[in-house]
Amino acid sequence: MVRKLIAGNWKMNGLKADLETIRQVSAHVNSGETAPETLLCVPATLLSAAAETARGTALAVGGQTCSKLEKGAFTGDISAPMLAEAGATYVIVGHSERRTGHGETDAEVAGQAAAALKSGLTPIICVGETLAEREAGATLRIIESQLRGSLEGLETAGSFVIAYEPLWAIGTGKVATTGQIAEVHGFIRAFLAGRYGAPGNAVRILYGGSLNPSNAPEILPVPNVDGGLIGGASLKAADFLSIYETARALQV
């Protein structure tokens, strides 16, 4: 069984007072093959403090994006080496909010993933369709195109995580049906196996569309759902840990 990953994305939320959430989560989660891996991706301003707070526990911390470049005259950008030095072990790349709000292309995402790997970070590569694309019956075509472009140059299957995030189900309260999730996750699995062979079957595929304590018991058991990329529900320790416990019960 693939070890599940329960990952939180705080987005543009979090001040020093919110380190208490890090303390509460890190005090509860466990390591070992019978427990899911846990991760909180916090704003860059909190990363060092979050890493220090979680030090010695099973909770990992990560960044929310990175540049494909190592350094330079790029005001406001943050590089993968900077994230790693601050204590990150993961970084989200290609989140829909970066693709739509900042114009990041598949090629850009592939460059970010490569930069993350070079710095020892595990990239969580996000893919997903808009509501218009789903209604047009183009979901799988869009997912395949994003996978091909975003994985360009990545030759080792065990070095990254994929997150499926239907754009129409992020922050809207809408959630894809288990049938829709199974279809897309199964398609991603087949794509990875076709591209990487047997190692493609071990790549974790997360669901990232408004996962919360109420729907986690229904979604996490879906075939090829190897965990979740959680937005709003990761901001409260009780909600995040509820999802963690649901995943933990499935891990045994």
Reading the block at residue 120, the tokens are: 């020892």
Task: Quickly state the pLDDT bin for 98 (edges 50, 70, 90).
Answer: very high
Q: Which of 103, 109, 177 is nearest to 147 (CA)?
A: 109
Strand partners, 180: none
Q: How far apart are CA 223 and CA 4, in angstroms?
A: 12
Reading the block at residue 104, the tokens are: 């990041």
Per-residue pLDDT reduced to its tens digit, 185-207: 999 999 999 999 999 999 999 99
Residue 199 has a pLDDT of 95
Mean per-residue pLDDT, 164-168: 94
Residue 32 has a pLDDT of 82
Q: Mean pLDDT score of the chain, rounded to an integer?
A: 95
102 is catalytic: no
Identify the structural domains of the chain with CATH numbers, from first to last. 5-26+36-53+60-68+76-251 (3.20.20.70)
Residue 223, amino acid: P
Angle at 41 between CA 36 and CA 45, to 5 degrees: 150
More confident site: 76 or 173 = 76
Catalytic residue among 37, 97, 165, 185: 165
For residue 175, pLDDT over 90 is answered with no
Per-residue pLDDT reduced to its tens digit, 140-151: 999 999 999 999
- Range list of H helices, 55-197: 80-86, 96-102, 106-118, 131-135, 139-150, 178-196
- Range list of H helices, 55-105: 80-86, 96-102
Residue 1 has a pLDDT of 73
For 88-120, give one letter per residue: b (16+ CB within 10 A) or e. Answer: bebbbbbbbbbbeeeebebebbbbbbbbbbebe
For residue 172, pLDDT over 80 is answered with no
Catalytic residue among 37, 95, 108, 129: 95
Residue 24 has a pLDDT of 98
- Range list of H helices, 29-105: 47-54, 80-86, 96-102
In this structure, what are the phi and psi dihedrals at residue 233, rounded to the nearest 5 degrees? -70, -10
